[in-house]
A and B are shown apart, each in its own frame.
Chain A
Amino acid sequence: MRELTYKDALHEALDQIMAEDDRVFLLGEDIGVYGGAFGVTGDLQEKYGKDRVVDTPISEAAITGACVGAALTGMHPVGEIMFSDFVTLSMEQLVLQASRIRFMFGGKATVPMVLRLPGGSGTGASGQHSGSYESWFIHVPGLKVVMPSTPYDAKGLLLAAIEDPNPVMFFEHKLLYRTKGPVPEEMYTIPIGKSQVVREGKDLTIIATSVMVMRSLEAAQKLAEEGIEVEIIDPRTLNPLDMEPIIASIIKTGKALVVHEAVKTGGFGAEVAGRIVESEAFAYLDAPIRRLAGLDMPIPYNRNLEYHAVPQVENIVEESRKIVQGVY
C-alpha cells in the first residue's frame, strides 16, 4: 500500500471530506496561506477558499465557540488549536457548552464539531508548548477523546470524528507528523471507541497511547530478543474507552503496564488501571498493574531534561522486564 506521513494523512482526510461535504469547514489560527503551524491544512485554503478555510484572530475561546455555534446550525466545523496547550483558553466553551448542550437540551440538539489539538513534547518547545492534556477531557462527560498513533489511524479517525454528531477532541502528536505508514487512497473511517491490538504477545499487556505506541513497539523488539513477548494495545479512543481487548489480553498475560506521555497523577493510566481492577481480569493478575508516564512536572527546555521527563524506549524495556521478572 502507498505510504503517507501522519501529517499528509490528516491533510488528505480534510481534503477529501471537504470535496464531498459542504458542511465541513476549517477554522483556526494561521491555517490559510501559512498552512497551519505544523503544515496540516497546507494548501486547502487555496483549494477551497477563505470561506471554508477560515484564518482567525488569536482567539481560542471564540474559535471553539464558533465551532459550537456552527455545529448547532448544521455545519461540521473542524477547529485547529495551534498548540494543544492553548486549549486552556477554550475550556469554558468546551466543558460548559460543547460537551453538555445535547444533554441539557433534552437530546434535541447535536454539536458535530472536531477540535484538532497538536500536542506533546520532544521538540524543545518548553513549558507552555509541549503538554499532553487528554486526560482532562476524559473527565468531561460529553467530549469524545481521540488520539491516533499511526498515519492510517490518523486519517480514518479524523474522518470518523468529522462524521460524528458529537464533539470530538482530536489529539495529534507533533513527533508523529513526520512518521510514515500505509494509508489507503480512498476515504475510510475507523470507528471511534474501538481499541486495537497492535502487537500480539503472551508475557505482558502494554496499553499505550499516541507516540508511546511507537516507543512500545520499539521496546517490544528489544524485549523479544530477551525472550519476552509483549502484547501492545492502542486504545485510539480514550473516551468512550473500549476495555474489551484490554481485559481479554490481561486474562491471557496476567500482567499490565500503561504507558502515556501525560503526567502520571490523575492521568489516563489511573483510569485504565482502575477499570482493570474492577473487571474480571483482576483475578488473572499475577503482578501489580504498573504505570509509566510523564514525570509530574512541566516539560523542561534543556534537551536532556526534556528527554527524561517522559517515557522513552529504554524506560519501557526496563519497566516491562521488571514486571515480567517480578522485580519492582
Chain B
Amino acid sequence: MEKEKLLEGELTPKDAKHLLYLMVLTRAFEENAEEMYALGKVHGTMHLSIGQEAIAAGASSAITRDDYLLNTHRGHGHFLAWGGDLNRMMAEFLGKENGYCRGRGGSMHIADIESNNLGANGIVGGNLPIAVGVGLSIKIRKTNQVVLTLFGDGAANEGAFHESLNMASIWNLPIIYLCENNLYAMSTPFDQAFKIEEISQRAVAYGIKGVTVDGNDVFAVHQAVREAAERARYGNGPTLIEAITYRWRGHSKSDRQAYRTREEVKEWMEKDPIPRFAKKIGVSDKEMEEIQERVKIDIQKAVEFAENSPEPDVSTILEGVYA
C-alpha cells in the first residue's frame, strides 16, 4: 500500500479509500432509505442497489467529470459516485424544495445537469436512445468526452437497446454501455429472458467490443470502463460491458421475492463487494470502523438537512411546465 499507484486499474491508495467510503455510504443510504420507508417518512417506491456498490465505484472513477452520466432507476450509488451532494440528494428523496430536482423528480429521476449528470431514468432502457444523442453531440462538438450509460439486464431486451447500439456502432460514438446484470429483471431470471450465456456476446452483432466482468470487483469494472473510455476517446466507438452482480433486496418495495431462494441470496451476500474491496486495498478492521462511523454521521446530517428543508410551495406546482 506504500506504492503510489495500485497495480490494478491505476487507482491511487487515496482514490481507493475514497471509493470504499462511497460504497459504504451508498449502502448506508439504501439501508436508511428502507428504514425511512418503513417509518412512513418517504412515499412511493424505491429501487435499492445494495450488493451492487462495486459497479458505481469502479465505473465513475474511470472517467472524468467532464464526461457524461446517464443513470438508471437503481442509481443511488452512481449518483453518489459521480459526486452528488448527499444532503441535496436526501432532500430530493424526501421530495423537498432544495433537493436536486426541487422534489419534482424523486429517487427515480434524480439529475444534476450542471455536473453533466444527465439523470436517472424510470423507464427500462429509456436512456439508451438518449445516449446516442449525447454521443452525437460530443462528436459534432468535437469535445473528446464520453458518456457512461447504465442499464440493467432487463433493458437489454428492449427494442431501444438494438436501435441505440446499432446507431452508436455505425457512427463510432463515444458511448460506454455498462450493463449491470444483477441476474433478475424484476422477477424474471436471466436464463428465462436470454438464450445466450453473456449479454456482452451481443456486441458481436454490432461489430463492437464486448466484455463481461465481475461486477462485484471494483478493479475489474474500473479497468473495463477505463479501456472503453480510451477506445471511445480515440474515435473507436462504443463498448458493451456487462458487469455481473446481484441485487440483495427485492426489485422494489412491493417485492416478496417468491422467485428466488434464501440460499441463493445468502450465497451472494457472502460475495459482498465491500469487505472484498476493503481487503484488497488493505484497509484494516479499525479503519473500516472509522469509515462506517463517518458514514453514519454523514447520513444523520443529511436526514436532518432533508427533514428541515422546506416542502415545495403548492403555488409553484406548474413551474417547469410550458405547454
Contacts and interface: CB of A to CB of B under 8 A. Distances in A.
Given A59-B166, A68-B129, A106-B101, A166 B137 contact: no
Interface residues of A, number: 44
Contact of B126 (A57, A70, A96, A239): A96
A54 B136 contact: yes
Contacts, number: 151
Nearest to B168: A62
Contacts of B50: none
A312 interface: no
Contact of A107 (B114, B166, B167, B319): B319
A61 interface: yes
A104 B104 contact: yes
Given A73-B138, A142-B322, A57 B167 contact: yes
A271 to B, nearest CB: 13
Contacts of B114: 108
A70 B319 CA distance: 24
A77 interface: yes
A251 interface: no
A78 to B, nearest CB: 12
B323 A144 contact: yes
A328 interface: no
A296 B260 CA distance: 49
B236 interface: no
Contacts of B123: 92, 96-97
Nearest to B105: A104
B319 to A, nearest CB: 6
Interface in B133-149: 133-141
Interface in A36-91: 51-52, 54, 56-57, 59, 61-62, 64-75, 77
Nearest to B109: A104
Nearest to B129: A65
B276 interface: no
Contacts of B167: 56-57, 59, 62, 66
B102 A68 contact: no
A206 interface: no
A240 B323 contact: yes
Interface stretch (B5-13, B157-165, B186-194, B282-290): B157-165
Nearest to A141: B321
Contacts of B137: 69-70, 73-75
B132 interface: yes
A65 B160 CA distance: 9
Contacts of A170: none
Nearest to B125: A92
Given A64-B129, A69-B129, A69-B135, A102 B160 contact: no
28 contacts: A52-B140, A57-B163, A61-B129, A65-B128, A68-B129, A68-B133, A69-B70, A69-B129, A69-B134, A69-B137, A70-B140, A72-B118, A72-B130, A73-B68, A73-B138, A92-B160, A93-B130, A97-B123, A97-B126, A103-B321, A104-B101, A104-B109, A104-B119, A106-B100, A106-B102, A107-B104, A108-B113, A144-B322
Given A105-B111, A109-B119, 13 more contacts: A61-B159, A67-B133, A69-B134, A70-B140, A73-B138, A74-B137, A92-B160, A93-B130, A104-B101, A107-B104, A107-B319, A108-B101, A108-B112
Interface of A: 25, 27, 51-52, 54, 56-57, 59, 61-62, 64-75, 77, 92-93, 96-97, 101-109, 141-145, 166, 239-240
